[in-house]
Each structure stands twice: as structure tokens, then as C-alpha cells.
Amino acid sequence: MRAPIWLPMPVRRTLRVLRRYSRVLGRRFEHWSAPARRQWRRSLQLRVVALTLVASSVLVGAFGFFVAQNSARILLNRAHDEVASSMNSKVKYAVSQLSVYVTADDPTLGRTINTTVSNLADGDPAESGGSIVSMRADNFPGFVPVTSADVNTDELITEDLRRTVAEEGKVAEQVRTAEVGGNRVKYLVYGTTVPSRFGHLELYYLVPLTTEDSAANQIRTTVLVTGLALVILLGVVAGLVTRLVVLPVRGAARTAQRLSAGLLDQRMKVDGEDDLALLAASFNQMAANLQRQIVRLEEMSRLQRRFTSDVSHELRTPLTTVRMAADLIFSEREEFDPAVARSAELLQAELDRFESLLTDLLEISRFDAGFAALDAEHTDLVPIVQRVTDRLTGLADRAGVTIELRVPETPVIAEVDPRRVERVLRNLVGNAVEHGEGRPVQVTLACDDGAVAITVRDHGIGLKPGEERLVFNRFWRADPSRARQTGGTGLGLSISAEDARLHGGWLEAWGAPGEGAQFRLTLPVRAGDRLLSAPLPLIPRDRAPAIEATAAVEPDAPAEVV
């Protein structure tokens, strides 16, 4: 492990201040950029136009740079060719003028050089932007350089250029910028030797590139303006084209939202015969088919609910008559033969199950019809939990199960429907006793400021992955053969889930093979409040590492880290 780097106190303070300001700036930037980022995520048209502008800007910029650079190079090459051609004629003229001199000491040589330089110059550079001619003789120390204009050429004719021309005898060129006549002017400087009978002199021809620079600048400006106009035009075209595509898609999204909200008669507008029109027509056909299927299913569901409700109500009357006769027979069973007495007991037990099934079917039909109402009142949940466990003690004793109750010593008051809460707990504890495999069942009650939670934990066979979502389905059984002997109607957990939803609460399940299961009922303390958390964990703390499964009947319930 590396040792920490020691820093002086001022440096550490500075680093802390920088980190604090960087966090503040980061939060401010996120706050300022939040609307733009939200618009970027939501608008397809904005993304397409922005990407088109970026891509076209890069392409147009690269093309414009290539055109401008190539144009400037062409202009410079043309200037090179013209200067080279002119330089050859000037050298010939200078050679013809100096060929009569045998020595450099001739007193008329200076006047001839001045005349030659003046004749070779093309106008006044300070007034008309003409060229500059300069003749030097670095091999003759006493020779004074002659220039066609009163211009300081030290910035234009550099030491490297003079060395190349004077010492190596080569033709050299360079582009330099100097101040002439109060303006910064770019010159193309050519240098070459002028042979004579007494030695060679250096002739420098300086041509201004004002025309070429002006033409290059005009080309750059034209390319820039044209590129900007092209980019803007591409952005407008991309926006218009995207709008033609996005508007039907937005219309389809709005229509789909209305369809999902239950407005089954909504349709898209079909214009033309293109692909978008085909999409709209297909969407409308799909919506029509869905409407027919939904109406058909709703009608079937309504008929099914009505059938269940009608059958349940109609069976009440004969069941009451049969119950009265069965009760009479059951009360006189001791006077019958053992076989007849046993039949009376079986008849009584099956009538109890049949009556329980009818009660559950009627309750389910009320939930399906939307007639279930919550009769909420401020209730102490501790006596309810104790009453449920006391009533199921006989069932637990027959199954060899011990019910362990863990409730607070103080009252737990919540605004609930006590009848429905007691029914949920009776289903949960009864299922835990039946599936507990003879091991203890823990019932725990806890509360906080916003919620009340009750967990029922057993240590039976548990739930396999995926079964935790099926336990709340109607008539579902984890072990059909076993449940038909000891189980109920298969509607208990479904009714319990509906009771939890009616309270605005959660009914959740956890299970692991061989580790048992735990169900948690969470209800708001005040009716109508939204649940945010539960005071008890869904996954028990005593669980061993194993494959686990959790599920909740409330899809909006937040995930919980235990």
C-alpha cells in the first residue's frame, strides 16, 4: 500500500477550496444546462438538426480550407513564375551594363549601378506599390548597397538569404513582411548573382504580394460566406425534412397515449399514399382491431363477472337450505351408525369449504365490479394481530407449529379498515402455518411516522424463483396435490392483495427454496398518504445465502436495500 503524499498546509487548504468551488461550479452548470439537456433528450428534431449542422460545418469547413489554401498556393506559384521570368531579364540587363568594367575600383561603377537599379525598378513602392530592386556586393567590403527606393530592406533581405546568394552563388527566394510607407506589406524576395569581369554582385528583386493577398482574402471571404450560407441552408432543410417526419410520429405518439388512456376511438389522420400515410393507415387498422378485441374481452369479462356474481348469489339460497339440513344431521350424528356419522362430518366440512368459496367469490366479484369500499377508522393493530394468532392457535397445534408474536408494548394506531386487515392477516398466518413444515412462524409488527408493517415468516419449503409473483394470482397453488388436501380456495392471497391496494399499501412476498417465505403487509398510517418506505425489511435478516425471490403487488413500490 502506497504511503500518502505529504503536502504543506497552505497547499492542502488551496486544494480543498478548489475542490469545493469545482463542486459548486459543477452543480451550477448542471442546473443551468438542465433545460437544454432535457430538450435534447426529448426532441428528435433538435438532435437531427444539431447533428446535421455539426456534420455539415465540419465538411464545409474542411472543403473551404482546402479551396482557400489551394487558391492561395496557386496565386503564389503564379507570382513565383512571373518573378522568376522577370528576374532572368533583369539579370541579363545588369550583366550587359556591368560587363564593360574590369575592376571594382572604377569611379564610374557606382553611377552605373545606381542607374541600373533605377531602370530595373517598377515604380515607387511607397506610392504605387511597385517592386524594389537592391544590388549588393558582400564580397567587396567597401561596396555600398544600392536600393531603388528609400526603404529599409534589412527585414526583407535576411542574413540567411544573403549568405545563400553571396557565398553559395545560388538563386534563393523567401516571403517576408515589412513596413513600407507606413503599411505592413508582404514581399516575395528573389536573390541571385550578377556575374561581371571583376567578380559577381548580388541582385535582389522584391515584389509586393498585395494583389495576391487581396485575391486570397477575397477567396477566403467568399468561401466563408458561402459555407455559412450553405450550413444554414442545410440546417433549415434538415429542420423542414425532419419536421415532415416528426409531426406524424408525434401524432402517432399522442394517439397512442389517448388509446392507452382508454379513448379507443382515436385515430391518426391519413394524408397521401407515401410511407407515412401507410404507417398511419396501419396504425389505425391496428387500433381498430385492438378496440374490437378490447371491447370483446371487456364484454366477456363483464359476462364472466356477472356470471360469477349471479351464480354466487343464486347458490346462497340452496346452500342455506342444505346448511340447515346438514347442521341438523350433524347435531344428531352420535345416534347414527359410524359410517353415517362420518359422512355427516364430511358433509359439514365440505359445506364449510363451499361456503368459504362462495364468500371469496362474492368478494372477488365486488372488487372486479369496483364496489369494494374502504371503511377506514383509527384502529390499534396490536389487538388485531393478537386476535388473529389466538384464533389460529388450534390450527397451529394440529400442524405442530408454534406462532411467535413480536408486537410493540405501546398501541400502534393507524387509519385502516380493521375487518380487511384482519382478513389479510388471517390468510397470511394461516398459509404460513400450513406451509411451515412444523417449524415456528414469526409474526412481527412495527411502525414509524408514515407506515405500519406486519411480516409473517415461516421456515417451510419456501418459494422457487418466479413463484413469488404467482402467489397473488387467483387459484394458483405452489403444490396442487398438497394444497387440495390442506389448502383453501386459492383466492385468499388475491383478496389480500386487493385489500392492500384498497388501503394504498403494499403486499409483498419473499422466498427461497428450503429457507421458507416471508410476506410483508405495509399500510400508511393516515389513509390516502403515499408510501415511501416500510419500517420492516422484506428479506429476513436470518436468511442464509441462497437463490432468493422477491415480489410486490404494488408496482410503484420502491426497491429496498436490506
pLDDT tens for 378-411 read 999 999 999 999 988 888 888 889 999 999 989 9
Q: Cell 540567411 sits at which residue?
A: 160
| Residue pLDDT, tens place only, 303-347 | 766 776 676 667 777 777 877 887 888 788 787 888 888 888 888
Mean pLDDT confidence for 123-136: 69
Q: Cell 522577370 sits at which residue?
A: 86
The answer to whether domain 100-208 has CATH 1.10.10 is no
CB atoms within 10 A of CB 272: 9
User: Strand 506-512 and strand 441-447: pairing?
Assistant: unpaired
- C-alpha atoms less than 13 angstroms from C-alpha of 486 in its C-beta half-sphere: 15
| Residue pLDDT, tens place only, 490-511 | 778 888 888 888 888 989 999 8
pTM (2 d.p.): 0.47
User: Domain locations in the chain?
Assistant: 14-98+214-262, 100-208, 267-372, 377-552
Is 450's pLDDT higher than 60?
yes
- C-alpha atoms less than 13 angstroms from C-alpha of 86 in its C-beta half-sphere: 20
Mean pLDDT confidence for 527-541: 87
Which has the minimum average pLDDT: 256-270, 386-400, 435-449, 538-552? 538-552
Buried b (16+ CB within 10 A) or exposed e, 111-125: eebeebbeebbbeeb
Question: In 3D, which of 504, 506, 377, 495 has the Cα closest to residue 454?
Answer: 506
| Class of the CATH-defined domain 377-552 | alpha beta
User: Strand 516-524 and strand 506-512: pairing?
Assistant: antiparallel
Say which CATH architecture domain 267-372 belongs to.
Orthogonal Bundle (1.10)
Is 52's pLDDT higher than 90?
no
Q: How far apart are CA 114 and CA 225, in angstroms?
A: 49
